[in-house]
Amino acid sequence: MKNILTLITVLMFASANIVAKDMKVEAITTLKADLETYKTATMKGDVDTLMGFIYPTIFTISPKEQMTKMFKEMYASGKMPKINKMDFTKINPIQTFDKGNFTTVVYMMDMEMTLGELKPEMKTQLLEMLKAQMGANSKVSVDDKTSTFHIEKEAALIAIKEGTDSWKFIEKKQSASLVQAKLLPAQIVEKLK
């Protein structure tokens, strides 16, 4: 009888581990698929699809319809940078929190913006501003003849999946201010430190 109870206990732990592993495999599979859709939408400027990947609490700052309209207008006006390349270089291990799963995803992005005729001092100011804004893990240059700014940057996304929703993404560098505004669970940011 004691051996049967031991065998049942071992089988229960083994099946629990298999289920947990299957859930992690499913989570990484859906994450990769959602990242590919996000990348395609980013490259094409598909605002409607991109809005579906924004963590929902962000819409308490600016309603979804308003953000969608603003981004569509920016794309239509040519004021949005052209994304030449976006590669996801590292997906960190998926972790859990009380509402679901999360991880960070490191990516490289290559983009350019052509701003038309600019005075030399304006180009210099914009170049310095973009270098500061993009951070240390970036390369920013300008073609003086065309006023095209070229940006290569490495950054990270926080990927969050709650329940059966698709993965949602937030730039990691924004996370501290979002926690302060109570728009991002502090539990996630604490685990990412």
Token pair for residue 16?
């629990």
Give the start-end residues of each E strand in 4-147.
82-91, 95-97, 100-114, 138-143
Strand 138-143 versus strand 148-162 pairing type: antiparallel
Type of residue found at 118: L
pLDDT tens-place string over residues 49-64: 999 999 888 888 889 9
How much is the pLDDT for 159? Answer: 94
pLDDT at 173 over 60: yes
- What pLDDT score does 179 carry? 64
Q: What is the mean pLDDT of the chain?
A: 83
In this structure, the strands spanning 95-97 and 82-91 are unpaired
Mean pLDDT on 172-191: 73
Half-sphere exposure (CA, 13 Å, Cβ side) for 23?
14
| Residue 23 pLDDT greater than 60, yes or no | no
- Domains, in order of start, for the chain: 2-192 (3.10.450)
Looking at residue 157, its pLDDT comes to 92
pLDDT at 27: 86
- CA dist 112 → 64, 96, 109, 141 (Å): 26, 36, 10, 10
Residue 15, exposed/middle/buried by CB under 10 A (0-12, 13-18, 19+)? exposed
- Confidence (pLDDT) at 21: 45
Mean pLDDT of the 66-81 span? 88
